[in-house]
Homo-oligomer: A and B are copies of this chain.
Amino acid sequence: MPHFPSEMATPDPVERVPVTEPSDGIPPIGQKVRIEEVAALAGVSPITVSRALRNPAIVSEARRKRIEEVVTKTGYASNPHASALKSGRSNLVAAFLSNITSQQYTAAAEGCAKVLEEAGYHLVIARTSYSYARETTLIRALMTMRPAAAFITGVMELEENRIFLRNLKVPIVESWAYASDPIDMLVGFSNTDGVQLVVDHLAEKGYRKVGFVGRSSGRGTIRLNAFLKGAEAAGIEIKATLTVANVQGIADGRQALRSMLAASPDMDAVFCANDLLGIGAMLEARAMGLNIPGDLAIVGFGDSEVAAEVPPGMTTVVVDAHAIGEKAGEMLLARLTGQKIERPSCLFPVRLEVRGSS
């Protein structure tokens, strides 16, 4: 239970940094300047200031310089709401993450935000994956902000929302899967191929009685189906499949492994459709005294930070989430700056990182 300060808690000596640096570049802070004043000081009209700021090339060298000086001196920053109101487009970019605490998605958001921020855009992050109704409400709410673009970590499933987003005519990047008909653009990888790498690897190593743990919706289904199909073709017997509803934590992985082994003690390998499940499975297997990979091989999907670190190292399909986010940011930016995108889809190749667990 939180409480209010009392003599019971010791204050932390927080270090404060006084303003020491000479104001080298950083404009004075805390003012409220309008474009009109900048214009007056620079001896031009407001619209010229506006142009100098958003499209310097079309303003004469001399005036541009003068304007820039005044902007720096006054610390002018344009009011994004006024700008958005008039132009119908803001400097916000909407990011829809199905899970805001997922390392993978936040890594992607981080990459995307970094690229966009350099161009003056800001990411508004929203969490979607609770229910379709909530997702719909959320998209509507965010889109009233007239974001300049949108980034979706995943593929929008609800047709109604796809249509809505498409109609907005803003650049949109979906991601994380190789969907054939993106709303607009796509930065993804083939889950199907990633899973196939796993199947091939397991087959080659001689594993024949395998289990599957994964989520039961969205991409979870893709990975499950790809696995079932691939395993059949490779002559691998599926001893057990276990899908967890919406969670993907380490604890779920532990639990899943325990259940599956109870039902099918003779499994020789388990494929976990994401790394956290895989790590849970590895920890549980070791706790049960199993030898990895001797008694049981374990393979994950996603290459989270821990995968390489959990002994003996978890074999996993590598997905560079940060790079996906960066690429998404670049594609959005290209569109926003009027460049033609010749290919609306960018695919990252999938790769299996083989480690000690298989």
Residues of A within 8 A of B (CB): 1-5, 8-19, 25-27, 29-30, 75, 77-82, 84-85, 90, 92, 100-101, 103, 106-107, 109-110, 113-114, 117, 120, 122-127, 132-133, 136-138, 140-142, 144-146, 155, 157-164, 167-168, 177-180, 187-193, 196, 218-219, 221-222, 225-226, 249-251, 254, 279-280, 283, 286-287, 305-306, 309-311, 323, 327, 343, 345-349
Contact = CB atoms under 8 A, between A and B. Distances in A.
Contacts of A157: 14-17
A309 B286 contact: no
A140 B12 contact: no
B13 A306 contact: no
11 contacts: A2-B323, A3-B348, A12-B222, A13-B225, A14-B180, A17-B159, A29-B136, A30-B163, A100-B113, A113-B125, A251-B305
A77 B144 contact: yes
Nearest to A174: B14
Contact of A178 (B12, B25, B107, B122): B12
Contacts of A103: 101, 103
Contacts of A190: 9-12
B280 A309 contact: yes
Contact of A125 (B4, B125, B221): B125
Contacts of A283: 309-311
A19 B144 contact: no
B10 A178 contact: yes
A192 B13 CA distance: 8
A122 B124 contact: yes
Nearest to A133: B26
Most buried by B among A15, A159, A310: A15
A334 to B, nearest CB: 14
A170 to B, nearest CB: 13
A5 B125 contact: no
A10 B193 CA distance: 6
Contacts of A218: 15
B140 A122 contact: no
Contacts of A141: 77, 120, 122
A29 B100 contact: no
Nearest to A221: B15
Given A9-B347, A14-B157, A250-B306, 18 more contacts: A2-B187, A9-B189, A12-B188, A13-B225, A14-B177, A16-B159, A29-B163, A30-B168, A80-B144, A81-B84, A81-B146, A92-B124, A117-B126, A117-B138, A122-B126, A122-B145, A123-B126, A124-B125
